[in-house]
Amino acid sequence: MVSHKSLQTPVIAAICASPAVVFATHGLLDGAKGVCYPADKFVDMLGDKYVGAEATVAGLDSQVVTSVGPGTALQFGLELVGKLCGKDKMSEIASGMNYGMHRSPLMGA
């Protein structure tokens, strides 16, 4: 069912452990690279498809979008909006949420 679904969907996406547990296990990263939750177990499952620890969202140049976990969910969601609805819609939504405009002083403004 996973393989069949991916053939009919222009974009497939997964976050946290799913890029490794689902996509890598079922061969859905064909030609694409990705990220996952940075536990050795999951990184090893991705093998040479793993982009690296510095990336939080990957696959922006392909039809496979992956992200590392809950802390990147907003960025992940916006990237999916960009893929499915275009960059203008992504910018509109990000702007309406003040995404990227303000940083917490605790994060080193």
Decide the pairing of beta strands 12-15 and 57-58. unpaired
- Count how many Cα atoms sit within 13 Å of the Cα of residue 96 in the half-sphere of its side chain: 7
Q: What is the 3-state secondary structure (H, E, C) of 13-38?
A: EEECCHHHHHHHCCCCCCCCCECCCC
16 is catalytic: yes
Q: Of the residues 16, 32, 64, 68, which is catalytic? A: 16
The residues annotated with a catalytic role in the active site are 16
